[in-house]
Structure formats: C-alpha cells, structure tokens
Amino acid sequence: MPALIQTGLLFFSVTALTACFGALINGSLSPVIGVTSLCAGLVYCYFDRRFAATKRIAVRKPLDLVTKLLYGIILGGIYAHSVFLFYQKDPSTWWIQNISNLGDLSFHFGTIRNLARGVHFWPENPIFLGFRFRYPFGMDLFNAIFENLGIAMQTHLPLVTFAGLVLTMAALHFAGGPLLVFTIFFSAGFFNFLQPGTWDLYRLQEGLDFKNLFLSVLVTQRGFVYALPAGVYLYKVFDENFRGAWSPSRFDKVSLGLIWGALGFFHLHSFFIVSLYLGLLILWRRQMRTWLPTVLMAFFVGLPFVLNALVPEAGMNGFIHWSRGWNRQPGVDYFTYWVRNVGPWLVAVGAALYTFYRAKDWQKFVPIAFALALFALFAHLILAPWEWDNIKLLIWCYVFALLAMQDFLWNNRPDWFRAAVFIVFCWPGFLLFVHSLPHATR
C-alpha cells in the first residue's frame, strides 16, 4: 500500500508541476505541454518504484466485518459525491448537482476552463481583475491538462475527483487505520447532536463550525484532495523512520521532498502547517541531518508558490488577524463553543496527555502536545480573509493529534471501547454522511 500511495501522489505532483513549468515557459498551457507533463509523471513514478527503499511498515490487522461495511459505505459516498457533481442541461448551461459544492465548484469549473483555453501564464485573478492569481490551483491545472486535450469536463472532473478521494481514503487507512478514516469521513460535533431539536438531520450541523470534514472540506476544496493524503502519508513515513522501521534511499528523499513541496501548489495552508509540524518533529527527534535533502527539496519546490501568495500588491489588504476564538460569534460562551465543536477531541487529547505524562512516555506525549499547541495558536491567529477558513489549519491539528493517539484510542483497545469511540466521535457524522447520499444523486 505505501508504494501505491506514494506513486499516486507523485503522479499528481510531478504532472502538475511539469505543466506549470512548461506553461510558464510557453506562456500558456498547450496539448504538447499536457502530454509531456503526463509522460513526465508516469516516467518519474516508474523510477520511484524502481529505486525507492522498501518501507517495512507493520501490516495492520485484517478488517472486521463491521469495518468493511463502513468502508463500503464510505466508498459509495465517494462515488456519489464524485460522479454526481454536475450535469449539462443544454449546450450552454451547466447545473451543479452536489448541494455541498454549490459555491465552490463553479469557481473550479471556471478556473479549469480558463487554464485549458490558453490563458497567459502566470494567470490573473479571475475575480479581482488586475491582480495575479494567488490561489493554489495545482489540482485545477491537473484537470485543465485533460480539458486542453479535448476530454470532456463531465468525464475528467468526476474521474480525477474519485481517484483523489480513493487515494485519500487509502492514505488515511495507511497512516491512521479505521480511526482516522472514520473521524474524517464521519466527523461532526457530538455534544451539539445532544441538543434538543438536532435530531432533524437537516439541522444537525446548525451552530457548528467544525462540521463534517468530508462534506465541508474534502468535497469543496479540490486542492485538499491532494493535500490530505500527502500530509498524512508524510507523517507516517517520517514517524516510521523515527521508530527505526525503515531508512530512506536518496531517491526516497527526493520523492518525499517533491510530494511535500507540491503542497504549496495544491493547498498553501496545508504546506504551511504540515511543514511547521514535521519541522518540529524533525528537530525534536534530532533527525535534520537525515532529512535535510528532503527539507531542502520541499523548500525550493514550495517557495515560489508561497512568494506568489504572500508578496503584496497595491490595493490588496492583509488577511492575518487575531480572533476571539476561531469563528465564535459575539455572545456565544467560549467554553460552550469549543465543547460543541470539538469536545470529544479535546477530552481525548487531555486524557492522552495526562496518561503519557504520568507514564513519562515522551515519544507519545510530545507529538500530541505539538498538535494541541498549534490548535490553540490557530484557534486565535487567523491566516485567512474569513475566520472559518482557518479550518484549513485546524483540521491538521485535529488529524495530527489523532495520528499520535491511534494506539491510545483504537489499536490497543477492546471492541467495546472502539465502539464507544465511534459513537462519540463519529455517530452524528455518520448520519450526516449517509443522509448526504440521496441529495448527491438527485
């Protein structure tokens, strides 16, 4: 599984980066650049499979019947939310069919079409004319390659989305097992679920900012379809190296650096927070000498996209600011706000930190503490024009803590304990996920 995940991530990243470089030289995307980029992705994946070190990572236990059934439901949801994105009512009219994507898909649709039609590179902002395009459009450029080659939007967009989401599910299972898969696809606020009136599934997420992450982030933000599997995969292979399970070859160091650096082109917030967290782990583990080539590769690949986003232009306002607590509105109690949104996660983090502190197990304590500290910081320091958009950072703190707690919450626990964890963390989100399927197919 790790080899296939790495191959998929490299195909996305190398193809998109090659297309970007070629379009910059040529002035626009062209069929020759598209074919060359796809070939470059395939060739690099071939050499990566040939020269990468074997990752001797412990194989997980076989899935039980209930977990297989839940995985089947998730795959069905991935299919529904990928294939039933939109339809063409007539030659000039497109209708968005996925209700979770009403606001975002039209933007991505326009970006893909704009890039495929040969817009001058580096493109201008399609919304604020006269300004350069700061948005990380790596996934849209990947789709634009197929559009430019004459493949219909209704063919390549659902297929790429489906492939990316399956890759995401595989990476989540590889890195965090069923716990991470369930807590991403079935996430939602448990304590909000206990409020009177919230048994109405249409209102289940009312008042929540930390919503179902599959419906609110993965379905809507196409760059996250690359960023999430890339980030959790990087965490897993780094963590296994720290444990002595495998040693990277020189080719591995380059490949992982490409996957890491390409985050800047696909999802800039993810590049920032993943780099910050992995950097802290590398420094704490004193492994900088081992991973210096990877860090440098990621830095030089990602830096141009960071500069493109951050170098100011006349008339552009700054977006970094402090918040009273993420997206908390005036009059909402601070404690109640966080309990309703991430109450079970906070309780689990507190219990894990207390347990590992008492046992003086710093190898497990420190990664969780890093994740909690970053969560506390970015719950108040907003790196986006709108407060809610800081979910792009907070989701990573949530994920990194769960990765570090998987033995504490799931792997080493009896069935009844895992069932309780599923109910508290995932039951409301499971209902939302299942409830979303009929709407995706109307």
**How far is it, in rounded angstroms, from Cα 183 to Cα 213?**
9
Chain centroid offset of residue 56 CA: 25
Mean pLDDT over each residue of the chain, to the nearest integer: 87
Token code pair at residue 346 = 């906070």
CA proximity to 339, closest of 162, 210, 232, 196: 210
Higher pLDDT, 207 or 301: 301
The pLDDT score that the predictor gives to residue 427 is 87
Q: What is the pTM of this model?
A: 0.92
68: left (phi over 0), alpha (psi -120 to 50) or beta: alpha
Higher pLDDT, 441 or 145: 145
**How far is it, in rounded angstroms, from Cα 432 to Cα 386?**
25
Q: Which residues of 99-121 are buried (b: 16+ CB within 10 A; e: fewer)?
A: ebbeeebeebbebbbbbbeebeb
The pLDDT score that the predictor gives to residue 221 is 87
CA proximity to 390, closest of 134, 260, 217, 261: 217
The pLDDT score that the predictor gives to residue 437 is 77
Judged against a pLDDT cut of 60, whether residue 133 lies above it is answered with: yes
The pLDDT score that the predictor gives to residue 54 is 61
pLDDT band at residue 395 using 50, 70 and 90 as cut-offs: very high
Burial label, 276 (beta-carbon count in 10 A; 0-12, 13-18, 19+): middle
H helix runs in 194-287, sequence order: 213, 224-242, 250-266, 268-285
Q: How far is CA 49 from CA 11, 43, 149, 166, 252, in A?
A: 12, 10, 28, 20, 10
**How far is it, in rounded angstroms, from Cα 223 to Cα 13?**
11
pLDDT band at residue 440 using 50, 70 and 90 as cut-offs: very low
331: left (phi over 0), alpha (psi -120 to 50) or beta: left
Judged against a pLDDT cut of 70, whether residue 204 lies above it is answered with: no
- Asked if residue 184 lies in contact with residue 65, where contact means CB atoms within 8 angstroms, the answer is no
Q: Among 92-96, 134-138, 165-169, 404-408, which is the least confidently predicted range? A: 92-96
Report long-range pairs for 83-86 (Cβ below 8 Å, ≥24 apart): 83/158, 83/162, 84/440, 84/441, 85/157, 85/158, 85/161, 86/154, 86/157
- Asked if residue 334 lies in contact with residue 217, where contact means CB atoms within 8 angstroms, the answer is no
The pLDDT score that the predictor gives to residue 442 is 42
- Asked if residue 187 lies in contact with residue 180, where contact means CB atoms within 8 angstroms, the answer is no
Token code pair at residue 248 = 């990277």
- Top mean-pLDDT range of 88-97, 291-300, 333-342: 291-300
The pLDDT score that the predictor gives to residue 125 is 79
**How far is it, in rounded angstroms, from Cα 395 to Cα 111?**
25
The pLDDT score that the predictor gives to residue 40 is 97
Residue type for 429, please? G
- Top mean-pLDDT range of 97-106, 246-255, 355-364: 355-364
Residue written as token pair 């919450």:
409
Average pLDDT over residues 366-394: 93
pLDDT band at residue 22 using 50, 70 and 90 as cut-offs: very high
Judged against a pLDDT cut of 70, whether residue 137 lies above it is answered with: yes
The pLDDT score that the predictor gives to residue 436 is 79
Average pLDDT over residues 19-43: 95
pLDDT tens-place string over residues 264-277: 999 999 999 999 99
- Asked if residue 142 lies in contact with residue 16, where contact means CB atoms within 8 angstroms, the answer is yes
Judged against a pLDDT cut of 90, whether residue 391 lies above it is answered with: yes
- Top mean-pLDDT range of 94-98, 152-156, 299-303: 299-303
Average pLDDT over residues 104-109: 80
Q: Which helix (H) or strand (E) holds 382?
A: strand 381-383
Q: How far is CA 354 from CA 33, 179, 183, 342, 369, in A?
A: 55, 21, 22, 18, 11
